[in-house]
């Protein structure tokens, strides 16, 4: 069958089960868009390429399927870079197609030419520049395979205009053989036996689960291991939802803004079973004081992560779900009764400090708690980055996997709103909240147009503290209260902006109005922007200063 390059891409989408793509057209990708015009594939037109890739990211995180984004060459492609880096850091499967100038113009600084494969080398799992249509079917197959297997990640295909227009024989490969890409999924049986023995001997074990739990779908296995072994569980930001927050063995999130229970338990533990985590500095604090008495079993699909930051006693490379299943077949619980009693004494949740409050001001954490209560455990929550993100991690009770979507590794402001649109696209019946800040929301608020056009009923809660809260907090704590460029004294009326785009806008200034506003938003069809005016200067606690032991919480009085 002879097809044009552009047709081949759409055929590959069909073969891979892609029903929705996100993108933005332009000169060098016109041929693909021309064929999309009569395709059954739903294309969501965002208002900025960055939003397209974030939306594809949100779509992938919630659905578990690869997200697809399309942009033109040059500026269209460079606008994707942040989104690619974001997906790469958080191991999100994306296939991204960029237009490119025709092959005969490549390297001439042609109009809207950018070396996007060169630019995105460090932020993609792999990328391709397809110069010959004969390679295209194989490249498409490989791209989906690489994006979705092993440690997932974004794969970019740069697609010159003449290759889009050219014709070639199309047969989509059924089999795949990439000699340099063979992820190890099974896990070494000898190491698994060692892990079984180590767990049996442990008296103070803790399971630390991360994004890998969610990516590999190992929730049931995690729960089974915790329950069989009576082992408490801490979840990193990326792991939230991988273990039910209401479970009695749940300790909360560890790290810089972690709970007392999670941080103390990791510090006191004699064994850490680290599953799908990468020991990020925000989790470990000062490395040489992290888990000083613990042996470490580290299970991860990516061999690079094992031994990168922390030396490991039992390394197991493999797919988490598979490895945990194998481990559970031979599992023998240790005696952890005393340990659980110790752990019980520590705070597993974060209390909201209510003393010396001005009763007329909304407490930001209360808004987030209310969203969690009113929305129930079933909603999807996306966040931006900063204080509201940490408060969300602390106060949203995540019961289900793939229900908490946040930019963990890269910490991308502007991610939350487009990610919420993608999340909603993947699951039209779900309630999707985007908890954001007045800073983050302004980085991609043009997407209100997308939300309104596609009638995506996303409920956006802006925790509006008229400042860049987290940066301001650091200035308060570590930079002598010199608030350099962090105070937004003249913020916009977000409710008016929402109305101007055709969405519903609700401004909330009184604490007693918070729950009603959330209910009103839920009762409203279509997108709603809630502008919660909260106190400037509220800080995120608990807090461990950077590069300090995670057991050393700062005193709230320091603030």
Q: What is the DSSP letter of 20?
A: E
Q: At what angle do helices 136-148 and 5-15 cross, to 10 degrees?
A: 40
SS3 of 296, please? strand
User: Known catalytic residue: 417?
Assistant: no
How would you class 264 by CB atoms within 10 Å of its CB: exposed for 0-12, middle for 13-18, buried for 19 or more? Answer: buried
User: Known catalytic residue: 473?
Assistant: no
The interface region with another protein, picked from 14-22, 120-128, 327-335, 385-393 by CB under 8 A, is: 120-128
Least distance between another protein and beta carbon 118 (Å)? 7
Least distance between another protein and beta carbon 87 (Å)? 16
SS3 of 292, please? coil
Contacting residue, 34, 224, 270, 302, with another protein by CB under 8 A? 302
DSSP-derived secondary structure for 12-61: HHHHTT--EEEE---GGGHHHHHHHTT-SSEEEE-SSHHHHHHHHHHHHH
Is 307 one of the binding residues for another protein (CB under 8 A)? Answer: yes
Least distance between another protein and beta carbon 99 (Å)? 19
The interface region with another protein, picked from 24-32, 173-181, 222-230, 396-404 by CB under 8 A, is: 173-181
Is 98 one of the binding residues for another protein (CB under 8 A)? Answer: no
Contacting residue, 179, 337, 429, 557, with another protein by CB under 8 A? 179
CB closer to another protein out of 117 and 267: 117
Determine the distance from the C-alpha atom of residue 367 to the mean position of all C-alpha atoms in its chain, rounded to a whole number. 22
Residue 415: closest CA among 78, 90, 63:
90
Structure tokens that stand for 149 in this block:
């297997």
Is 173 one of the binding residues for another protein (CB under 8 A)? Answer: no
User: Known catalytic residue: 112?
Assistant: yes
CB closer to another protein out of 131 and 513: 131
| Residue of 49, 142, 366, 447 with catalytic role | 49
Is 217 one of the binding residues for another protein (CB under 8 A)? Answer: no
Contacting residue, 14, 42, 107, 118, with another protein by CB under 8 A? 118
Contacting residue, 138, 308, 397, 513, with another protein by CB under 8 A? 308
Is 372 one of the binding residues for another protein (CB under 8 A)? Answer: no
Distance of alpha carbon 96 from alpha carbon 52, whole angstroms: 10
Least distance between another protein and beta carbon 121 (Å)? 5
The interface region with another protein, picked from 4-12, 177-185, 257-265, 266-274 by CB under 8 A, is: 177-185
CB closer to another protein out of 311 and 519: 311
Is 117 one of the binding residues for another protein (CB under 8 A)? Answer: yes
Least distance between another protein and beta carbon 441 (Å)? 32
User: How many Cβ atoms are within 10 Å of 223's Cβ, its own excluded?
Assistant: 16
Is 429 one of the binding residues for another protein (CB under 8 A)? Answer: no
**Phi and psi angles of residue 155, each rounded to the nearest 5 degrees, phi first:** -125, 130
Distance of alpha carbon 224 from alpha carbon 25, whole angstroms: 47
| Residue of 14, 104, 111, 512 with catalytic role | 111
Is 176 one of the binding residues for another protein (CB under 8 A)? Answer: no
Q: To 5 degrees, how large is the angle CA 365–CA 419–CA 48?
A: 125
CB closer to another protein out of 152 and 241: 152
Residues with Cβ < 8 Å from 125, sequence gap 6 or more? 88, 146, 147, 151, 152, 153, 154, 155
Is 298 one of the binding residues for another protein (CB under 8 A)? Answer: no
Is 180 one of the binding residues for another protein (CB under 8 A)? Answer: yes
Note whether 369 and 444 are within 8 A (CB): no
Least distance between another protein and beta carbon 184 (Å)? 11
Distance of alpha carbon 313 from alpha carbon 271, whole angstroms: 10
Least distance between another protein and beta carbon 27 (Å)? 24
Residues with Cβ < 8 Å from 328, sequence gap 6 or more? 221, 224, 225, 228
Sign of CA dihedral 292, 293, 298, 304: positive
Residue 130: closest CA among 108, 154, 99, 152:
99
User: Known catalytic residue: 161?
Assistant: yes
Is 138 one of the binding residues for another protein (CB under 8 A)? Answer: no
- Looking only at the bridges linking them, the beta strands covering 42-45 and 94-100 are unpaired
| Residue of 125, 161, 321, 348 with catalytic role | 161
**Phi and psi angles of residue 4, each rounded to the nearest 5 degrees, phi first:** -80, 165
Is 122 one of the binding residues for another protein (CB under 8 A)? Answer: yes
User: Known catalytic residue: 321?
Assistant: no
Report the C-alpha dihedral over residues 69, 74, 78, 79, rounded to 10 degrees. Answer: -60
CB closer to another protein out of 178 and 500: 178
Contacting residue, 1, 176, 178, 500, with another protein by CB under 8 A? 178
Q: How many residues belong to the site for another protein (CB under 8 A)?
A: 16
- Judged by phi (left if over 0) then psi (alpha if -120 to 50, else beta), residue 234 lies in beta
Number of H helices, E strands in the chain: 23, 20
Active centre residues (catalytic):
49, 111-112, 161, 470
By the criterion CB under 8 A, which residues form the site for another protein?
Answer: 117-118, 121-122, 126, 129, 146, 178-181, 302-304, 307-308
């Amino acid at each position: 069958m002879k097809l044009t390059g552009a047709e081949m891409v759409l055929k590959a989408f069909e073969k891979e089960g892609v029903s929705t793509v996100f993108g933005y057209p332009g000169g060098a990708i016109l041929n693909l868009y021309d064929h999309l015009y009569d395709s059954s594939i739903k294309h969501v037109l965002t208002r900025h390429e960055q939003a397209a890739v974030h939306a594809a990211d949100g779509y992938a995180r919630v659905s578990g399927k690869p997200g697809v984004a399309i942009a033109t060459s040059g500026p269209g492609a460079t606008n994707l870079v942040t989104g690619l880096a974001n997906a790469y850091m958080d191991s999100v499967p994306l296939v991204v197609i960029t237009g490119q100038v025709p092959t005969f113009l490549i390297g001439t600084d042609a109009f809207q030419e950018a070396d996007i494969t060169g630019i995105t080398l460090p932020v993609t799992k792999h990328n391709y520049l397809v110069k010959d249509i004969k390679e295209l079917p194989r490249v498409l197959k490989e791209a989906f395979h690489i994006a979705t297997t092993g440690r997932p990640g974004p794969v970019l295909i740069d697609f010159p205009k003449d290759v889009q227009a050219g014709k070639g024989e199309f047969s989509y490969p059924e089999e795949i053989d990439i000699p340099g890409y063979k992820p190890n999924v099974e896990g070494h049986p000898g190491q698994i036996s060692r892990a079984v023995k180590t767990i049996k001997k442990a008296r103070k074990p803790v399971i630390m689960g991360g994004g890998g739990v969610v990516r590999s779908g190992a929730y049931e296995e995690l729960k089974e291991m915790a329950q069989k072994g009576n082992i408490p569980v801490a979840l990193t930001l990326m792991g939230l939802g991988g273990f039910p927050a209401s479970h009695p063995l749940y300790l909360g999130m560890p790290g810089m803004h972690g709970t007392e229970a999670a941080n103390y338990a990791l510090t006191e533990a004699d064994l850490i079973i680290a599953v799908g985590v990468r020991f990020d500095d925000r989790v470990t604090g000062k490395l040489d004081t992290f888990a000083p008495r613990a042996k470490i079993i580290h299970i991860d699909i990516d061999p690079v992560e094992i031994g990168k930051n922390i030396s490991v006693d039992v390394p197991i490379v493999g797919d988490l779900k598979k490895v945990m299943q194998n481990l559970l077949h031979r599992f023998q619980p240790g005696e952890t009764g005393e340990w659980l009693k110790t752990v019980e004494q520590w705070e597993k949740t974060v209390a909201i400090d209510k003393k010396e409050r001005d009763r007329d001001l909304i407490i930001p954490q209360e808004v987030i708690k209310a969203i969690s209560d009113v929305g129930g455990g079933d909603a999807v929550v996306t966040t931006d980055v900063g204080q509201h993100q940490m408060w969300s991690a602390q106060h949203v009770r995540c019961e289900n996997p793939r229900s908490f979507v946040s930019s963990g590794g890269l910490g991308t402001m502007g991610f939350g709103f487009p990610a919420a649109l993608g999340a909603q696209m993947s699951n039209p019946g779900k309630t999707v909240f985007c908890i954001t800040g007045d800073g983050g929301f302004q980085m991609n608020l043009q997407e209100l147009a997308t939300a309104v056009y596609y009638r995506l009923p996303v409920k956006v809660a802006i925790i509006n503290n008229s400042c860049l809260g987290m940066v301001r907090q650091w200035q308060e704590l570590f930079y002598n209260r010199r608030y350099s460029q962090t105070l937004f004294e003249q913020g916009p009326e977000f409710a008016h902006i929402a109305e101007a785009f055709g969405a519903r806008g609700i401004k909330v200034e009184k604490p007693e109005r918070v729950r009603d506003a959330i209910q009103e938003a839920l009762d409203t069809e279509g997108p709603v922007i809630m502008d919660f005016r909260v106190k400037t200067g509220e800080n995120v606690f608990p807090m461990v200063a950077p590069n300090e032991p995670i057991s050393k919480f700062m005193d709230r009085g320091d603030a």
